[in-house]
Chain A
Amino acid sequence: MIPKIASGIAGLDELTGGLPENTMTLVYGPPKTGKSIFCYQFLRQAVADGDLCSYLMTDYIQSQLEQQMMVFDWFIHDYIQDKKLYVIDTASGSVGAMQKETKNMMISSPQNPTDIASKVIQQLQDIYQQTRAFRSILDSSTTLFAFNSPILVIRVLKSYIMRIKMAGGTGIITYTEGTAETEIETMLKASVDNIIYLDSETITIEAMAGLRQESAGYQITDNGIVVG
């Protein structure tokens, strides 16, 4: 029996039994299909379970994440205050806003994977001192593809995935379909353990240990993604 953790997505775990622990899941699909909302729900579950979460955000900053989650009545303020969220944002760096960094709030740049990797490690070191089971979110790899040569991004993601898994984490990475060449997409898929596809109507588990391909309808409601 593979140990699993709750995804936080209503109805999804009934289909899959949860996300296999200590694996990396790719959540991908066309734009505006709910990939970031998937991440918010995954984070919300971390809050509910008291898990630490490493969050690499490329398109928004921490305060925007907080606001976007508030739209669904999900509150992470206390969670942030308790230093359970570890953010690296590459969004504020690129607009030239130089705010003070802390262990829980680091700034990097989308075109500087060396720096991103070094900051991920610094945070994982801190997380690892506290727990072996944590969650990780990378939303979205699409931005990394936009700023770097695609093959470099694959190298970076492989290293990232290895680090998260070695430290004991269970994570998700989002990707917008069609933003990189098919060949690169294939390499991306080969780098993760599980693959979930969202097309705005149907959620498909393309790959997951111990499961056959499964699909179900989904909707984005006031409670986020609801499957079935």
Chain B
Amino acid sequence: MAAEIEGRRRTYIPMLDEMLGGGMPAGTSMLFTAMPGVASEVFGCQIIAERMRNDGDVSFIYTNTRTPVEIEHVFHRYGWDLRSALDSGQTFFVDSISSMMGMPAIGKYEIDDFKDSEKVVAEAIADIAGGTAVIEDVSTLLDSIGVDQTFDMIEGLNEVARSNDVNMIYLFTRWNYEKVMLGRLSQLVDCEVKLFSVEEKVVYRQVFAITKSNWIEASGTKIFFEVLEPGGVRVFIPKLLVTGPYNAGKTTFAHAIAPDTVSVERQTFELFPTTVGLDIGHLDYKGFSADVFGTPGQERFDLLLEPLGREAIGTFIVIDSTKPETFVRAKEMIRMCRTEAIPKVIIANKQDLPNALSPDEIKKKMALWEGVPIVPVSATDGKGLSEALDTLFSLIYEI
């Protein structure tokens, strides 16, 4: 984390300020680039609502996607009072949607024709020196007035904002635009924060990351978040699942990747202790933070698998490389955890034993999951652990 620097203006997005060295320098711009399906509006709302509440900030919202009435409603849902700030003039709308919808415009400024946007918004910026402007959203501008004019506009507005110490917050949904265009857009702003989802087929978790910043080195660290109503953007600690057949070494593996893991074990009538409850631990690895949950392997605990798998964002399937007869059971457990659709890595454990099958032999025997990586590991002597973690994290965070 960078040290907090005097004069930075907080965004009040958890973790974002810490990563930005306290917030945004006055007069700078920030672009939130959201993959389709990830909600971006809340970021704009949160920044101006919290700044108004905590810092007495002045602001405006330029909108071409939601009507002022809808925006007020959204603020309300998150638990922020926009009404009294509107009444007192602490904030106002630049309404570029109502006239298009055939409704009376609400706001200090209205725009009937997108082509007038730059001039009107520039005037509004001059009204809120030292404050914050939210521009919602850039995608509609791009597809309405064209790329060049939109870029000219952003450049012009940032210029006006700089001389008025105004922070510009741009919201942008990244539909299937040209890569070159996206690169140019990123060049126009001081800071870009990408919002995306960790998924396979269907979104599981939302993540943000700073991918560009002119005032601090962008680490690329990914922060999981959730959006609460009320509450807004909150950091979410993701959950990793460790599962696999009985006696495959799940607990040993969980302890090896998350050393503070607490296990519920008891001596059974068998020769070795086995997990009858859970392994729960916390993992911090290369800037990623996650809770680790290990499942029991015996069939009589199968009912526990589904609730344990719920909300997991990634799974390690630990198998005993010396016991191919248990591989079918591994597949069955994945189904019962309902984690078929999230990123997973097969941990070919017990590679230290002489009769262990190689990853290639296991791959042939399993032939169950196309493209699921197999990592050879020996959990007892710590071999292959970082490779296992790197492999799963690279699957999870694939952008």
The chain A residues found within 8 Å of chain B, CB to CB, are 93-94, 96, 98, 109, 111-115, 117-118, 120-121, 124-125, 128-129, 147-149, 151-152, 155-156, 158-159, 163, 166-167
Contacts and interface: CB of A to CB of B under 8 A. Distances in A.
Interface in B36-58: 36-41
A123 B139 CA distance: 24
Nearest to B144: A149
18 contacts: A96-B69, A109-B65, A109-B70, A111-B66, A111-B101, A114-B36, A114-B65, A114-B171, A118-B39, A121-B37, A124-B203, A125-B203, A149-B144, A152-B143, A155-B175, A156-B175, A163-B202, A167-B202
Given A109-B65, A109-B67, A113-B139, 19 more contacts: A96-B69, A111-B140, A112-B66, A114-B34, A114-B39, A114-B40, A114-B139, A117-B37, A120-B37, A121-B38, A124-B202, A128-B202, A128-B341, A147-B100, A149-B140, A152-B144, A159-B37, A163-B37, A166-B202
Interface of B, secondary structure class, is loop
Interface string B19-49: 0000000000000001011111100000000
B202 A121 contact: yes
Nearest to A122: B203
A158 B174 CA distance: 13
A180 B176 CA distance: 20
Contact of A114 (B173, B203, B341): B173
Contacts of A115: 39, 41, 65-66
A156 B177 CA distance: 11
B203 A121 contact: yes
Interface in B64-82: 65-67, 69-70, 73
B338 interface: yes
B36 A156 contact: yes
In order of increasing CB-CB distance, the 10 nearest A-B pairs are A155-B175, A121-B37, A152-B143, A149-B143, A114-B173, A128-B202, A159-B36, A117-B36, A118-B39, A112-B65
A93 B70 contact: yes
Interface string B117-144: 0000000000000000000010110011
Given A155-B175, A156-B175, A166-B201, A114 B137 contact: yes
Contacts of A94: 101
Interface residues of B, number: 33
Of residues A114, A121, A147, which shows the largest number of chain B Cβ atoms within 10 Å of its Cβ?
Answer: A114
Interface in B138-173: 139-140, 143-144, 171, 173
B395 interface: no
B132 to A, nearest CB: 20
Contacts of A147: 100-101
B73 A159 contact: no
Contacts, number: 88
A134 to B, nearest CB: 12
A98 to B, nearest CB: 5
A117 B140 contact: no
A128 B37 CA distance: 15
A129 B338 contact: yes
Contacts of A98: 73
Interface in B172-197: 173, 175-177, 197
Given A111-B97, A128-B201, A149-B143, A118 B73 contact: no
A157 to B, nearest CB: 10
Contacts of B70: 93, 109, 112
A118 B37 CA distance: 4
B109 interface: no
A155 B176 contact: yes
Nearest to B67: A109
Nearest to A129: B338
B393 interface: no
B236 interface: no
Most buried by A among B37, B139, B140: B37
Contacts of B69: 96
A114 to B, nearest CB: 4
A152 B261 CA distance: 49
Nearest to A152: B143
A109 B67 CA distance: 9
Contacts of B140: 111, 148-149, 152
Contacts of A163: 37, 202
Interface string B308-325: 000000000000000000
Contacts of B100: 111, 147
A58 to B, nearest CB: 14
Nearest to A94: B101
Nearest to B172: A114
A120 B38 CA distance: 10
B175 A159 contact: yes
Give the one of B34, B65, B73, B97 with max A CB within 10 A: B65
Contacts of B171: 114
Contact of A118 (B38, B143, B144, B204): B38
A114 B41 contact: yes
Contact of B139 (A118, A128, A152, A166): A152
Interface string B74-112: 000000000000000000000001001100000000000
A167 B38 CA distance: 16
Contacts of A117: 36-37, 173
B113 to A, nearest CB: 14
